[in-house]
Amino acid sequence: MLILKNISKRLDGFSLTDININIPEGTYYILLGRSGSGKTQLLELIAGLNRPDSGELWLNGENITGKKIQDRNIGLVFQDFAIFPNMTVSGNIAYSINSGKVNREQVNERVRNVASELNITHLLGRSTHHLSAGELQRVALARTLIRSPRLLLLDEPMASIDASLKDDVKRLLRRLKSRGLTIIHVTHDYREAMSLASRVGVIHNGRIIQEGEPGEVFRNPVNKFVARYSGVKNFFEVKFRKENGEWKAVGNNGMIFHLPGNSYPSQGVLIIRSEDITIWNTNPPLQTDNCLRGVVREILPSDSGMEIVVNAGNDFYLDVSSEMFKRQPLSGLSEVWITFPGKAVVTLKEE
């Protein structure tokens, strides 16, 4: 278990403030934040590259706050991999165990084992100068894993990787996760958190602003920043009112949302995830909580198919799969209906 207690650190023009995180053993923890939010600095504090100004770091019941980097046995894979250019691939991998304490045969065997696990056996005798980013990353991982670290820290592992290799890397990271290794993975991409994390922390301006299971964090973001960060594009400032025992939210331009539940503040911000909105090119046959008529304003290709912007009083952003788009073709300015259930409308706790 890794525990960060009230960690604060002042850096040049920036500070990490009062960071409190508990990460149980075997957790795949994703620290999500924009560049400059302090996520890499936090990783470096955990690894021991920097020391906190205040607060404590505990790993498996041991206070490691003042412990030297080399004595922590916390593996850190740098964003740029930090591969030693003066050594071959095997030299890099063997570096941590090649200090004379382990005999040469054992060193060779351990290098071969970890290289085989990461599918880089064919690279062992090569210089590191002409390796691809994907290969360098595997070498950096092998170099770290050969030590059997107590904790593995990954700084933006997907950032330097070609899109075509990202799935391979994800599979590899899932395999490490299944081995029960505690991993902290820093990224700016919420999709990585969705597909890998068992727990997520969102960091902004040097503070952890929300933490929890990915589903919970992305379903119920605490504020606009987390919502926007987790891919939400539909935000509406509303006033809440109760009519005939039913809660409604009224937007600035009179647009009305029908809401479930029994308690709302007087005003607030609503969010609706793009994937929760359904689009129809005819009046929808089924009765739903919310049905709005609008006009298609824009159609843009997206990762999952098409992103469609519909103006129904306000702009609504929604995702349509390629198959759905083929079945139900749309064009600019065509009249459409959008529907979404009341439970898809989430009220933010903070502005």
Partner 1 sequence: MDRNGPFRWILLIFSSLILLFLVAPLLGMFMKTGMREFFETTGDKEVRESIWLTVWVSFTATFIFAIAAVPFAWLLARKSSPLKKVIHGIIDLPIVLPHTAAGIALLGFISRDSLLGKAASSFGLNLVNNPGGIALAMALVSLPFLINSARDGFASVPERLEKAALNLGASPARVFFTISFPLAWRSIVTGFVMMFARGMSEFGAVVIIAYHPMVAPVLIFDRFNSFGLSYARPAAVLFIIVALVVFTILRLLSEPGKKAVVKNEYADS
Binding interface with partner 1 (CB under 8 A): 47-49, 68-71, 73-76, 78, 80, 82, 84-88, 90-91, 94-96, 98-99, 104, 107-108, 111, 124-125, 127, 129, 143-144, 147
Task: Tell me phi and psi for residue 115, to 5 degrees.
Answer: -65, -40
> Nearer Cβ to partner 1, position 95 or 235?
95
CB of 101 to partner 1, least distance (A): 10
Distance, in Å, from the CA atom of 211 to the CA atom of 32, rounded to the nearest integer, reads: 10
Single-letter amino acid, residue 83: I
> Nearer Cβ to partner 1, position 98 or 160?
98
CB of 110 to partner 1, least distance (A): 11
**Cβ neighbours for 103, distance < 8 A, ≥ 6 positions apart:** none
CB of 117 to partner 1, least distance (A): 17
> Nearer Cβ to partner 1, position 50 or 205?
50
CB of 59 to partner 1, least distance (A): 14
CB of 24 to partner 1, least distance (A): 23
Q: What is the DSSP string of 65-95?
A: TT--GGGT-EEEE-TT----TTSBHHHHHHG
> Nearer Cβ to partner 1, position 60 or 148?
148
> Nearer Cβ to partner 1, position 108 or 288?
108
Distance, in Å, from the CA atom of 192 to the CA atom of 202, rounded to the nearest integer, reads: 13
CB of 327 to partner 1, least distance (A): 51
CB atoms within 10 A of CB 224: 15
Distance, in Å, from the CA atom of 259 to the CA atom of 242, rounded to the nearest integer, reads: 10
> Nearer Cβ to partner 1, position 98 or 314?
98
> Nearer Cβ to partner 1, position 125 or 215?
125
CB of 103 to partner 1, least distance (A): 12
Cβ burial of 333 (10 Å; 0-12, 13-18, 19+) is exposed
CB of 154 to partner 1, least distance (A): 13
Instruction: Please state, in angstroms and as integers, the Cα–Cα distance from residue 135 to each residue in 2, 83, 130, 161, following that order.
Output: 30, 11, 10, 10
Decide if 343 contacts 273 (C-beta within 8 A).
Answer: no
Distance, in Å, from the CA atom of 115 to the CA atom of 138, rounded to the nearest integer, reads: 9
Distance, in Å, from the CA atom of 308 to the CA atom of 333, rounded to the nearest integer, reads: 11
Q: What is the sign, positive or negative, of the torsion defined by CA atoms of 257, 338, 231, 169?
A: positive
Decide if 312 contacts 236 (C-beta within 8 A).
Answer: no
> Nearer Cβ to partner 1, position 49 or 324?
49
